[in-house]
Structure 1
Amino acid sequence: MPSILSVNIGRPLRQRIPAGRPTGIHKQSVDVISVADPGPKRVVDGAGVSGVDGDHVGDGRHHGGSDQAVYAFAREELDEWGRTLGRDLTHGMFGENLTTIDLDVDAAEVGDIWVVGTSVLEVRGPRIPCATFADRLGERGWVKRFTAHGRTGAYLQVIEPGEIRAGNRISVQRSGSGVDIPRLLRAFTGDRDAARAVIDSGVLTGARREELLARLG
């Protein structure tokens, strides 16, 4: 049954990118995390706001907030990348808060509900790779390579706050929205047909819908 293999948080650490600003991408496994809706994406005291208590968000303009409150990535994908790259990838290596097992995270559709631990989460969209992620991996051409692979894990919104720990099972309630993680990634990275299909589906509202409409011109 789908479950949580590891829960991870990132303390602020200096990294080459972004220069002079701490990042929280260096995640470490902990016993338990508390999750809650952080509200809109914003910058507070120079940092963003995470949905995971104690998790640092270095770039509040592009990360954090309700739609990116919690990040989940499948252990199976980490293992596949480990084989491809010829290196061991620990839990949290890709900056995920939840390392899952026995769950195809990238088959999730926008609006799917995950009941895990004492919390309720909703799938909101893909992870768009950035320079900080590339610097963390130290792999040449990483942003393009990761994007082209199309399996980015999922950002989740916190619908009901609670605690999550390793070993918790994940109960998935499918939304039937028809917009899975790879399709939304393509929509936000230049595929105009995918963008039109996502707009027509009605799964996006507010700023995210306006952003996608702007990309369509």
Structure 2
Amino acid sequence: MKAIKQWFARRGALPLTAYLLALAVWLVLGAVHFGSDAAVKAQGRLTEETMPVTDWQLVGLEQNNDGTLTTVDGDPQMILENVGSRVVRTISYTAQFDGEAREMCLYYTTKVGEDYSADRRVFPESRGNGQYVYTLPRTALAALRLDPCSPEENKTVTLTMSGLTLNAADTLPAVWQYFVPTWYQAFCLVLYPALAAAAAATILAVFADTKKRK
């Protein structure tokens, strides 16, 4: 107890402690995520799987004889209703459009029969040359709905889609990526420990002032 008091008596000890705790939590989470992925890979549930478009239920899309897809309304969808025991971390594909794709997104549900919601939606990372990658959150998945484009009113878009793959090897994190934050995560690791330290300092100051007045 004395050592703890001496530590916090030092100038800057509170924010330093907050950052050290945040770093420790981040490293533990990275290790947990790495271990979790290694375990499901060993079980054969996190595997690379290239799927033909015909494995998905097409809504608002018509498949042409040459394999291309043409939108027939303003809300085209590709639905995979039964994710089953698969663990899906990423979905990637290459697509070319003969018009403006506009919004592209992927919806997911975590329970059978659950409605799709904007709260459970991810947007793609464009890797150039028409390749798009969606990275899903770490949660149980029941169904997936891919919205590959969003045509303007009274217009159609024809798209050529290839390489539709779950968990493509080049989209999954390398070992070091489990422990290195993205720019946004790094921003959070800088911001939130500082806010927590400031809040703790304020509470301690109020507590000390109240104690003096008694």
Which of these two proteins has the greater Rg computed from alpha carbons? 2
TM-score (norm 1): 0.24
